[in-house]
Copies of this chain bind each other. A is one copy, B any other.
């Protein structure tokens, strides 16, 4: 079984949507990524940091999904990273009300010995110098390194970001971030420019408008599943990334066709994530639900047309 190492935040989230609000539930990029990947046949572990206030039962929930949490450092006298956000009525936009970095401010990642030979590495959204440090701690280059980032790092740590972007095979970012990063409005041109920064594969996430995968001349598109109700979009992008890298690690096949399937697998898992608050849905999925929805994806996208 492939080893998948995930670096990213493990956090408390407080979320407000038009449908309700929560206070300090389990969240963070590494959490969503690892939960999504747990539905693939992989051995995955997280590198992150939390404070003494982080409930032990949250570790248990991850461990029950076969996620190794030994790489999550606990700073007993520190506080866990906290994010408080509020979604607009149409759920396509959100405002960040509070960000408390807490223990994340001085985070020095330490990759556990048993994950230093990971063949698949997912660098979740974090300070690019933390992402870089994790790359440095893996002596043999993994088969596949994927990176997620956001506009905040483009605004504040461009040089460090470019350094890590140059080292990865795949980048996953949203459409606005791709435009900002490249200075191009056309996503085709944006992907071309981002290729030149390093990543051979560029995945552009468009939320409810699906995701595009670019590999130089080739492109693949996966829609988001049209849902009757989206309850909470928090973590959907990370769930997509986790499903994507989990599928790649499971398949051990780095072809473009395999990557197409991985984009579908990620979109599929993300469609569940948004059905409930926070991680709730991702903690309680069945294989049957996943396969049934993959069938829906096929119905939604596959057609048979004569090329004449």
Binding site for B on A (CB under 8 A): 89-90, 185-189, 206, 209-210, 212, 218-221, 223, 226-230, 257, 260-261, 264-265, 291, 294-295, 297-305, 307-308
Most buried by B among A186, A189, A226: A226
The A contact surface, by secondary structure, is mixed
A304 to B302, CA, bound (A): 9
CB closest chain-B residue, reference A214: B226
Given contacts A299-B218, A299-B219, A299-B220, contact A261 B304 (CB under 8 A): yes
Given contacts A209-B206, A221-B223, A307-B294, contact A228 B300 (CB under 8 A): no
Q: Is the CB of B264 within 8 A of A305?
A: yes
CB closest chain-B residue, reference A228: B188
A187 to B133, CA, bound (A): 44
User: Which chain B residues lie closer than 8 Å to A90 at the CB level?
Assistant: 185
User: Which chain B residues lie closer than 8 Å to A305 at the CB level?
Assistant: 261, 264-265, 294, 297-298
Q: Which of B219, B291, B300, B307 contacts A226 (CB 8 A)?
A: B219
Q: Which of B220, B226, B257 contacts A212 (CB 8 A)?
A: B226
Most buried by B among A187, A218, A223, A229: A223
In the assembled complex, the CB of A246 is this many whole angstroms from the nearest CB of chain B, namely: 14
CB closest chain-B residue, reference A301: B301
A261 to B294, CA, bound (A): 21
Given contacts A300-B221, A308-B291, contact A188 B260 (CB under 8 A): no
A208 to B303, CA, bound (A): 20
In the assembled complex, the CB of A303 is this many whole angstroms from the nearest CB of chain B, namely: 4
Given contacts A209-B209, A221-B223, A223-B210, contact A229 B303 (CB under 8 A): no
User: Which chain B residues lie closer than 8 Å to A221 at the CB level?
Assistant: 223, 226, 300-301
A212 to B300, CA, bound (A): 9
A170 to B263, CA, bound (A): 32
Q: Which of B223, B226, B295, B307 contacts A188 (CB 8 A)?
A: B226
User: Which chain B residues lie closer than 8 Å to A299 at the CB level?
Assistant: 218-220
CB closest chain-B residue, reference A302: B302
User: Please, could you name 27 A-B residue pairs with CB atoms under 8 Å apart, sorted by A?
Assistant: A89-B185, A186-B227, A188-B226, A188-B227, A188-B228, A189-B229, A206-B209, A209-B210, A210-B210, A210-B223, A218-B299, A219-B226, A220-B299, A220-B300, A220-B301, A221-B301, A257-B303, A257-B304, A261-B303, A261-B304, A261-B305, A294-B305, A294-B307, A298-B305, A301-B301, A301-B302, A302-B303
